[in-house]
Amino acid sequence: MIIGILATGITPDELIDQHGSYAEMLMRLFDHAQHQFDYELFDVRDGIFPQDAVQCDGWIITGSKFNVDDNYDWIIKLKQLIVEIDAVGNPIVGICFGHQIIAEAFGGRAKAFEGGWGVGLHRYNIVGAPRFIADASESFTISAMHRYQVTEKPENASVFATSDFCEYAGLIYGNNILTLQAHPEFNLQYEEALVNMRKGITIPEDTADAALATLYQDGAATDSVAVAHWLADFLTRKPV
């Protein structure tokens, strides 16, 4: 199976040598979870897009430093591509910016959240019984790094993950689109380095300190491998 990664952002220069790009983090996570895919990478920020919606069997849209309301040409074109992929029924996974731009493509809205930044480890409650979650999980914990979030859910989306901080943390669109606000591809070391790098600059110091506390507490861990299984099962349409 060929997964097309639509790269909307990249790791900061100071961290990329050690941790790799967002696309590489996703590939590494799937490998760690023992899901073997072939990948094609499209840096859509530079106008590098697939020829059409069926060039790959499934798609992942990464996180980004950009905001979905920036309205650059590549953002407008990406929204159009999302609609085209949905029309042919191929699966899409959206992470952070990907989560937000998919919502915007279908008439929802994402904007800077009045509650401020979501950073550190966040726990999300699972709503209902999503078909792609084969285990008995009722919640999951992964790293968050966002100021924007979906504030108006599209009519064609249903919620599968939520928290007090992020109402629309996980959305499903029919049988072929799944999106997450937080980052299953981030490990604790990367999240710590990123929070420390942005502390007092883009992230208020008290918010950063609270986030770092979640990373330093005893037993701090993510459920990223479990989430990787869910995403892979969704992308491959594995029956559960």
Q: Indicate if 185 belongs to the active site.
A: yes
Q: What is the CATH number of the domain that holds 184?
A: 3.40.50.880
**What is the dihedral sign for C-alpha 98, 99, 101, 106?**
positive
For 214, the domain range is 2-235
Measured CA to CA, the distance from residue 33 to residue 90 in angstroms comes to 22
- C-alpha to C-alpha distances, 203 to 12, 96, 120, nearest whole angstrom: 15, 17, 11
Q: Return contacts of 132-139, CB within 8 angstroms, 24+ apart.
A: 132/178, 132/230, 132/231, 132/233, 132/234, 132/238, 132/240, 133/230, 133/240, 134/229, 134/233, 134/240, 135/226, 137/223, 137/226
- For residue 174, being part of any structural domain is answered with yes
Query: Which listed residue (19, 56, 104, 185) is catalytic?
Result: 185
Alpha helices in 89-204 (DSSP H): 97-105, 188-198
pLDDT tens per residue, range 137-163: 899 999 999 999 999 999 999 999 999
The residue among 21, 14, 25 whose CA lies nearest residue 186 is 25
- For residue 240, being part of any structural domain is answered with no
pLDDT tens per residue, range 45-83: 999 999 999 999 999 999 999 999 998 999 999 999 999
This prediction has a pTM of: 0.95
Count of domains in the chain?
1
Q: How many CA atoms lie within 13 A of 186 on its CB side?
A: 30
Q: Indicate if 183 belongs to the active site.
A: yes
Query: Which listed residue (19, 183, 192, 229) is catalytic?
Result: 183
Predicted confidence band at 239 (pLDDT cuts at 50, 70, 90)?
very low
Query: Which listed residue (24, 96, 191, 229) is catalytic?
Result: 96
- For residue 26, being part of any structural domain is answered with yes
